[in-house]
Amino acid sequence: MWPFLETGRTLKTFDKIAELGKGGCGTVFKVQHKLDGRIYALKTIKMHIEFDPDAKKPIHNHPAMKEIEAISKLSHDNIVGYKGCWVEAEEPDRKIVERILLKQ
């Protein structure tokens, strides 16, 4: 199983304040971090990926990864700073993830 797959991190870490925008690649939310109290822009991108770790198209080849790699290298006053990313299973997918984890 992918060691980086998480469940529930967004809800545990952030309070959603408002939706800032929506496009073909995802949705951006204004959020407040529950621990540090700071306001962040959080972009969510739905990634339809297989849970098979031996899949022919692993996550690193997913089109969204190109955007993540590019944004993580940028540093400019007019661009929102990159803080990090994670892969999270949606609620309906949790049962699938749990079943796979139990098989290992």
Could you read off the pLDDT of 6-44 as tens digits, one per residue?
778 899 999 999 999 998 778 999 999 999 999 999 999
Residue 51 has pLDDT above 60, yes or no: no
| Per-residue tokens: 79 | 């661009």
Coil, helix or strand for 69? helix
- pLDDT-derived band at 78 (thresholds 50, 70, 90) equals confident
Structure tokens at 3: 């060691």
Q: Where in the sequence is the domain holding 34, given as residue range(s)?
A: 5-103
pLDDT at residue 1 tops 50? no
Distances, alpha carbon 4 to alpha carbons 7, 18, 54, in Å: 10, 27, 15
Residue 67 confidence class, pLDDT cut points 50, 70, 90: confident
Distance in angstroms (rounded) separating the CA atoms of residues 51 and 5 = 10
CATH number of the domain enclosing 73: 3.30.200.20
Q: How many domains does the chain have?
A: 1
Residue 31 CB neighbours (<10 A)? 19
User: Is pLDDT above 90 for 79?
Assistant: no
Please say whether the beta carbons of 50 and 57 come within 8 A. yes
